[in-house]
Amino acid sequence: MAEAFTRVYFSSWSRTIHHGSQTPVRSASATVMWSSANPLAAETRSVTFRGSFSEPFRETHGERLRIPANQCCPECFAQLPGTCHHEGLVYGHDSQWSESKCLLCTCAHGKVTCGPRACPDLSCGKGQSPFIPDEECCPVCAHNGDLSTVEKAKQNENLVVHPGQCCPQCEPNACTEAGNEFKHGEQWQRGSCTTCVCDHGHSRCQTEKCPPLNCDKGQIKIKRAGQCCEDCVTSKGSCLYEGIVRYHGDMWNGTGCEFCMCERGQVLCQRVECSRSECPRGESLVHLPGKCCPECKTTTSSCSYAETEQKGQKAIKSFRRLANLEIVREGLCRECQCQKGRMTCYQHSCATCPVGTLAIPQPVQCHEDCLTCTGTPDHCAICREPSSLLMNGRCLQSCPEGFFAKGKVCAACLPSCATCENEFECTECAGSSLLSGRQCVTSCERGLFAAHTHCLSCHDSCALCKGAEPQDCLSCSDPTHILKNGRCISDCGPGFYTSQGHCYACDPSCETCHPSSPSCLSCHPGHALHHGKCVAQCPSHYYKDDHSHCQDCDASCRVCVGPDSSDCVQCMKQEEVLQPLNGYVSHGSCISACKPRHYLDTYRTCRECHSSCSDCTGGSFQNCTLCLEPSVLHQGQCLNKCPHGFYVLDRACQACHPSCKECSGQSQADCSACPAHASLHNGYCRTSCPEGQYLNPAGFCNGCEEGCQRCVADLQSGSGTVCLWCKVPKMVLLGDHCVPQCPPRHYRWHGACKKCHSSCEECSGDGPLSCTSCLAPEVLIPSGLCSPHCPTGYYPDESRVCQVCASQCASCEMAGVCTSCRDPAKVLLFGECQYESCAHQYYLNTTTRICRECDWSCNACRGPLRSDCLQCMEGYVLQDGICVPGCSAGFYQDAERCLNCDEHCEQCQARGLCQQCQLPYASLNGQCVLECGKHFFLDDLTRQCTACSSSCVECLSAEECRTCGENSYLKSGRCVSDCGHGYYADWKTRSCHANSRAPSLYINGSLLVPIGGVKPLDPTLLSIKDADSQSESMLLQLLQLPSNGHLVVLENDRERILTKDDTFSFTQLKQRAVRFIHDKEQSKGGQFMLKAGDPQLFSQPQTVPVLALSYQPPIVISNQILYINTGETAVISRSVLHISDFDNPEEVFVTVMDPPKHGHLTHVHSDAQVTHFKLGELDGEKLQYVHDGSKGEQDRLLLQVNDGHSYQNVLFHVSIANKSTIPIPLSTHLSVVSSEHTLLSLVWPVIFLPKKPLTN
């Protein structure tokens, strides 16, 4: 069975090479395992890479070859997003690993970042320094006496000073083998099987042992050049490439970026990819000869050189760029050179004297400002004027900005200072920094605000602020207070709500609002509450209830005055009309048509007709269309009787025949009274005019129209005639001619044919009311009119003739079956008109006055739908017109109906009484709020805001308070007025703190202060330990005033002198706001007494020693050779040895560390040998050197000058000569060792003279 092997995947091969010749590349080799992609040909292959390979190369399927940045050998890289490749391994995104004990690497988005492990913050005490022990990563504190300034070189290490660095470093010894030097940790090969490493100067080697090797059938053993152990390779399919035999499966580096592989006798080559490289600042990608991929190399060859230029009283520091190898001179003997981006400075050495010559001093006059100078004449070491200040070798009257007078020199202020008066505080800040308590900070701390360049104190009520006034607060110092217009107050008051510690104005329309949102709770008179806002009028679909809330109208109402369907003022549906309840109110129900005796106005509202009308088109008495009995309708009015010329037909006045003055019907034979000059004969009105003539209104006879035998004047039109009879007997008049009979759809009228109305099939007279039969499908109504249907009160018979309904029916389907009732007080139920109202579970169609059955769920309703219920069956309540077993979420039951709860409320008892709110809201006093606010806590189970205890402002539960109100303090989760024994009250946090143990005050050494100077107190000198109190709450009380100065505390940038029993806080101590000022007239040693206290208990008093020191070391003004003859005595004068101390001369003490060899030091007029003396004795020339007469031309003394704080070692030379010779000055050499153990060598220039005796 084929085995699985690690595969190398190549995306594409660039070319195929058969046994050809290429330029040979000499390189090391490495081998990887390879398997064929063909499972049947699976075999182990040795793949050889040519190049500087250091590790075996393995690649898996789906990976590609890539050369890492600044590397030679390729590696496999997975094409997965975010993975990292480091040291031949693949790491996933966000993974971490350790390169060494002190190094931690992280993979992030495909990029590896390595750095030192994080060490905890370290704060060393006085006299201690950070120190990293052997085999450790992080520093620890060690006493300065345990370490030297230059760390001692361990065994097998050397001190090495690297170029461009000042101090030496310890480096392990190197190893040497076969003439080659290897550094510590460097590896090399000793033969093909032995690897060596240099370990602190010792070579440690390990020889690889080859395991037994058994090759498969068809394989042979080979040993490759530079390889220790043999490999098994396939005996067939080898390649000859550049004169070298390659075996099947071998891989090697061809040329540049090309890698080749021997595959069954063929050489296949592929170009590899270069990984993306990001160079650090100052480096760039460079293609090096013989390398495939670019590497990061330093491109910066120039240097940045800092130089200081004095302009008046101000020292200006500037930078300029120096080219590589450019030299700049600093004084006479010092030069600096730019070397590959780094400045290297060195001191010139002077040439030695020729053989047979001596060196003698060559005096150089210092600048007139200098008392002494060094290096160059204008570089002062000591100023001539006592009031001058020394800075960079120049004598100034005052220090420039950024410097302060420290004794007789100008010292630099803190880097953050623009100006200062001492080394620990500023008077002005540099850049954008702010001055806070004489310290420069990037931002003001809590309780302060930025005002131009200073941090000033906020008002006491403010924790953060933007100004000094009480209305400038940004947060409150009292945790129970809240912000309102920049002021800290205990309660927002009406018209405001609270959110995240701030008071915000309610919506302008509100009278009051929710405690945690701007939504209104109540409104001003005349306004209504709608969706959290107060409105002057509820919008459409809403009405204003008795509580001044906008409530939903009935679904049929667009505008309403109440929740019922009868409370509509405007209808929702356009096809419906509003039927008011009565004539005195404007609201009513929305129905399909108006009730009887009502008309529809332009606003689609049904209005009552005039009292005289039974039906109408308007509200006036002239708008009637039907009259109440016994009145009759005439031209829109209801009259008691018709006027002259009219008769009553269907309770309406109809016009008489033109020949009649009054009548009882419409024909000429129906006259009951005739006009003047005519007489009534058998219903006809006759005149005295003969046939063929008619009597005109003037009483004269005129002729009829031609062909007309009889005619009358047209009284209705007032002009013309109406033909009554044809001249030819048995003929009837049809239009203007006479015919034997009238055609269909015509009727005969007094010898004339008249056309029936268009609606009639047959008729008996003129107009639509004279029909005797109708065209299908219309029916004949009693008035003779053809209509689509019978009028109210009639039903059609089988001949399509309308027959009158029963007396109680206003309408009917057939005889005895009413469809509407004649009596408006009756309703139609079950086809009968004998009930005054509908039965239960029936509703009245107000248009038809018919009772219809309700939906099965309704006990009373207004329509047929399930949502038309007005009353429910027992056990059900009405919600949105639907009968339900109980009110759903967001509704509450009011009697037998469900009304909407407030917004965001799921369950309530009534408006404003919410019991359960929608998430994430909670119920507070019946209102749904996002935050419970002060004095309440949220019960997560019930989602209710429950009141805290009476004196609690903020709480987590009824038993656990978090913040207490005024005059109470938090103790064990409860608010108490008195913390009790063993506790103290913190008024800032309103809490009780356990306080059973008094604090302890520790004094760590003495307070060292410059003579006449200022020194701040800090926690390194004073420390307080209290097991049950915070350091911020500690106070220190001054029990005994300082004996050699006074204490001041800095408050609001002003110093306040502390008197006996005054206190200051530990916070002020940490801020270095408490300072000791030494009185120069007082003694240098002194003390004061303090005790520390928490709000209840005090520590034992502790004495703080004070020692005023000279921070200006003694200065050697002159140190000349003392010339003396053999056996004589010479006084040491000021011109020979002059040592000065500007601030502490009386305390300077000189000790003879190394006495002279050829004499001794005594006081003048004394023979006792002097081993130490005071500076005043040297200044008073009270010391002398006594030569003992022994042989020797030179003698010297090593003196140590000590002012109690610093010391200097002075080497004093004595030249001894015979009396017959003149002393020749030797090289004047002053060696000084400072208190910091740094060797300083000062050499004056000398002139070398021939060494031979001279006579006087």
The whole-number average pLDDT for the span 872-900 is: 87
- Residue pLDDT, tens place only, 890-925: 888 888 888 888 888 888 888 778 888 888 888 888
1176's enclosing H/E stretch is helix 1175-1179
Number of neighbours of residue 150 by Cβ within 10 angstroms: 13
Range 964-980 average pLDDT: 88
Is the model more confident about 300 or about 882?
882
pLDDT of residue 413: 92
Q: Which of 1007, 1036, 1012, 1207 is nearest to 1115 (CA)?
A: 1207
- State the DSSP H helix or E strand holding residue 1178, giving kind and residue range, or none if neither: helix 1175-1179
Burial of 161 per CB tally in 10 Å (0-12, 13-18, 19+): exposed
Closest CA relative to residue 382, chosen from 1114, 1010, 1013, 1233: 1114
Other C-beta atoms closer than 10 Å to the C-beta of 948 total 25
Residue of 330 and 349 predicted with greater confidence: 330
28 pLDDT band, cuts 50/70/90, is very low
> What is the rounded CA–CA span in Å between residue 325 and residue 323?
6
> How far is residue 726 from each of residues 667, 704, 752, 1022, measured CA to CA in Å?
17, 11, 8, 148
Amino acid at 726: C
Measuring CA to CA, which residue among 453, 452, 451, 471 is closest to residue 461?
471
User: Is 877 in contact with 894 (CB distance < 8 Å)?
Assistant: no
Q: Please say if the pLDDT value at position 1226 is more than 80.
A: no
User: Beta strands of 531-683 (E only): which ranges?
Assistant: 533-535, 542-544, 550-552, 557-560, 568-571, 577-580, 588-591, 598-600, 606-608, 613-616, 624-627, 632-634, 637-639, 646-649, 652-655, 662-663, 671-673, 679-681
Q: Are 583 and 563 in contact (CB under 8 A)?
A: no
Mean pLDDT of the 559-574 span: 89
CB atoms within 10 A of CB 1102: 17
- For the chain, what percent of residues have pLDDT higher than 70? 82
Separation CA 464–CA 472 (nearest Å) = 9
Question: Domains (ranges, CATH) in the chain?
Answer: 1-116+230-289 (no CATH), 300-346 (no CATH), 687-755 (no CATH), 948-994 (2.10.220.10), 997-1109 (2.60.40.1080), 1115-1247 (2.60.40)
pLDDT given at position 1103: 94
Model confidence at 1043, pLDDT cuts 50, 70, 90, reads very high
Beta-carbon contacts of 580 under 8 Å, excluding residues fewer than 6 positions away, are 586, 587, 588, 605, 606
Q: Tens of pLDDT along 1100-1131?
A: 999 999 998 877 788 888 888 999 999 899 99
Q: Which of 74-78, 237-241, 661-665 has the lowest mean pLDDT?
A: 74-78
- Give 217-229 as a 3 state SS string: CCEEEECCCCCCC
Average pLDDT for 344-350: 64
The band of 1247, judged by pLDDT with boundaries at 50, 70 and 90, is very low
pTM here?
A: 0.47
Share of the chain above pLDDT 90, in %: 14
Tell me how far apart the alpha carbons of residues 177 and 189 are, in angstroms, rounded to a whole number: 11
pLDDT digits over 846-860, tens only? 777 788 889 888 888
Average pLDDT over residues 11-15: 35
pLDDT given at position 57: 40
Choice among 130-144, 398-412, 924-938 with the minimum mean pLDDT: 130-144
- Per-residue pLDDT at 1248: 30
pLDDT at residue 473 in the model: 93
Q: What is the total residue count of the chain?
A: 1256
User: What is the pLDDT, as a whole number, of residue 902?
Assistant: 82
Q: What is the pLDDT of residues 527-552, one digit of tens each?
A: 998 888 899 999 888 998 888 888 88
Per the CB < 8 A criterion, the answer to whether 617 and 632 are in contact is no
* pLDDT number for residue 679: 83
How do residues 474-521 score in pLDDT, each as one tens digit? 999 888 888 999 999 988 888 888 888 888 888 888 888 877 778 888
Residue 175 clears pLDDT 90, i.e. is over it? no
* pLDDT for the residue numbered 1016: 92
Q: Output b/e per residue, 919-932; b: 16+ Cβ within 10 A.
A: eebbbbebbbbebb
Most confident of 206-220, 222-236, 882-896: 882-896
Q: Distance (Å, rounded) from C-alpha 574 to C-alpha 408?
A: 102
pLDDT given for residue 1049 in this prediction: 93
Determine the pLDDT at residue 1086.
Answer: 94
**What's the mean pLDDT when you consider all of the chain?**
79
Range in 125-139, 607-621, 999-1013 with the lowest mean pLDDT? 125-139
pLDDT at 735: 63
Residue 41: per-residue pLDDT: 34
Tell me, what's the pLDDT at 1222?
44
Find where tokens 């020979």 sit. Answer: 1136
The pLDDT tens digits of the residues spanning 220-229 come to 888 777 788 8
Q: What is the mean pLDDT of residues 103-111?
A: 82
Would you say 1108 and 1085 are in contact if contact means Cβ atoms under 8 Å apart?
yes
pLDDT tens digits along 1058-1087: 999 999 999 889 888 999 999 988 998 999
Angle CA 36–40–44, to nearest 5: 45
Band the pLDDT of 271: cuts 50, 70, 90: confident
- What is the per-residue pLDDT for 603? 84
The answer to whether the beta carbons of residues 238 and 245 sit under 8 Å apart is yes
Whether the link from the prior residue into 133 is cis, omega within 30° of 0, is no
Least confident of 330-334, 650-654, 710-714, 800-804: 330-334
Burial 662-673 (b: 16+ CB within 10 A, else e): bbebbbbbbbee
Angle at 692 between CA 691 and CA 693, to 5 degrees: 95
| Mean pLDDT, residues 135-148 taken together | 62
CA distance 624 to 616: 4
Instruction: Name the burial class of residue 57, with classes exposed (0-12), middle (13-18) and buried (19+) by CB atoms within 10 angstroms of its CB.
Output: buried
pLDDT over threshold 90, residue 1040: yes
Lowest mean pLDDT among 78-82, 231-235, 1036-1040, 1197-1201: 78-82
In whole angstroms, give the CA distance from residue 472 to residue 460: 11
Reported as a pLDDT band with limits 50, 70 and 90, residue 660 is: confident
User: Band of the pLDDT at 987, cuts 50, 70, 90?
Assistant: confident
Cβ burial, residue 363 (10 Å; 0-12/13-18/19+): exposed
Q: What is the pLDDT of residue 1045?
A: 95
pLDDT of 160 above 70: no
Residue 88 has pLDDT above 70, yes or no: no
Q: What is the DSSP letter of 957?
A: S
Q: In angstroms, rounded to a whole number, what is the distance separating the alpha carbons of residues 899 and 909?
A: 10
> 4 burial class (0-12, 13-18, 19+ CB within 10 angstroms)?
exposed
